[in-house]
A = this chain, B = another copy of it.
Amino acid sequence: MINQKDILINLKKVHGHTLKIIKMLEDEKYCVDIMQQNLAVIGLLKSVHQKLMENHLNTCFKKAFESKNEKKKQEMIDEILKVTKLFNK
């Protein structure tokens, strides 16, 4: 994976940050502060999504398209569309 290190750093931040938000909830912190932390975590995961897409297109996807397997190519395109649709929601 091309940018695996960056992705891991972000996911570890998400993991730690989530614990912090759970603690804020249990300590009954102000809801707007909790919301802002929660939105920050969503931002990190959106950036992970972007990096995963970048990695995918430049590795597995590219490789599949260099083969002559038409069925495989179509599957790859359908996967991208499925993920884009999920993200769209």
Contacts and interface: CB of A to CB of B under 8 A. Distances in A.
Interface of A: 1, 4, 7-8, 11-12, 14-15, 18-19, 21-22, 25-26, 28, 30-32, 34-36, 38-39, 41-43, 45-46, 48-50, 52-62, 65-66, 73, 77, 79-81, 83-89
Contact of A42 (B35, B49, B57, B80): B49
Q: Count chain B CB atoms within 10 A of each CB in A21, A32, A55, A89 and give the residue with the most.
A: A32
A9 B77 CA distance: 24
Nearest to A83: B35
Contact of A65 (B15, B31, B65): B65
A65 B70 CA distance: 12
